[in-house]
Amino acid sequence: MKLASDHLPHSKRDQLMPSQVLRLLALLAFAASTAMATDPTQLQDFCVTDTKSKVFVNGFVCKNPNDVTENDFFFSGLNITGNTANQLGSKITSVNALNLPGLNTLGISLIRIDFAAGGFNPPHTHPRATEILVVLEGTLAVGFVTSDPDNKLFAKVLNPGDVFVFPQGLVHFQINIGMGNAVAFAGFSSQRPRAIIVANAVFGSKAPISDDVLMKAFQLDKPTVDSLKAKFWADNN
């Protein structure tokens, strides 16, 4: 890495100005935060999740490679329709580093999403993963919103065979606008992307965010904030 001091005149080469030190620190902090935003690359062929380990690391501890079998790289069951009998009318079946242990450290995973008629997947983000979705059955309206200050919506209606990508970290949603059920599969650039469902995180946090914060943030009066907090916020994961 070339330091800022390489560009200074000779007399100043050995001393960084305070403003330059600040800039360098900001740059390093930024580099560190972006490096943490995605799954790191693996340093070995595989690191199969040891589901019995009590040690917490970034990801999961590796099982002894001598004990690894083909079943550690295998999952069966995405042919099964998810139970959509819930508030959202949708169900996500995940294949990630916990139930397909061979995915640990590989930076990739998969889901099946089932939608009843009118079912939806509410606005949410995957902080560490881009998502690529393909519709197998039915018709979905999908979209994502770009970051501040534009907050531009990119939305599309998808039919079987259509593919859409939701860039990493952006708020996105899907809703079944067809007459019958819908089925989609999606791949993620993370071994276990998880989700931040916006409404759940904001109005359903445990413990609750204070009324004062939510009233100001959403320009709502106290009774409205309290009624939103009192609602049940379903999670289809």
Ligand X SMILES: *[C@@H]1O[C@H](CO)[C@@H](O)[C@H](O)[C@H]1NC(C)=O
> Residues at the annotated binding site?
121, 124, 126, 131, 172
Binding to ligand X (CB under 6 A) within 114-133 occurs at: none
Stretch that binds ligand X, among 8-16, 74-82, 126-134, 191-199 (CB under 6 A): 74-82
Stretch that binds ligand X, among 1-9, 24-32, 72-80, 154-162 (CB under 6 A): 72-80
Interface with ligand X (CB under 6 A), residue from 17, 36, 80, 179: 80
CB-wise, 82 or 107, nearer to ligand X? 82
Report the candidate in 205, 189, 185, 208 with the shortest Cα–Cα distance to residue 197: 205
- Give, as one character, the DSSP assignment of residue 120: E
> At 19, which helix (H) or strand (E)?
helix 18-36
Strands (E), 159-219: 163-166, 171-176, 182-188, 196-197
CB of 95 to ligand X, least distance (A): 14
User: Per rule CB under 6 A, is residue 136 in the interface with ligand X?
Assistant: no
Interface with ligand X (CB under 6 A), residue from 11, 58, 76, 219: 76
CB-wise, 82 or 122, nearer to ligand X? 82
Cβ 102 vs Cβ 51: under 8 Å = no
Residue with smallest beta-carbon separation from ligand X: 79
* Helix/strand/coil for 185: strand
Q: How far apart are the C-alpha atoms of 156 and 135, rounded to whole Å?
A: 12
Asked if the bond preceding 193 is cis, omega within 30° of 0, the reply is: no
CB of 78 to ligand X, least distance (A): 8
CB-wise, 158 or 184, nearer to ligand X? 184
Phi, psi (degrees; rounded to nearest 5) at 216 = -70, -45
Cβ 165 vs Cβ 128: under 8 Å = no
User: Per rule CB under 6 A, is residue 27 in the interface with ligand X?
Assistant: no
Annotated binding site for oxalate: 121, 126, 131
Q: How far apart are the C-alpha atoms of 195 and 84, rounded to whole Å?
A: 18
Binding footprint of ligand X on the chain (CB under 6 A): 76, 79-80
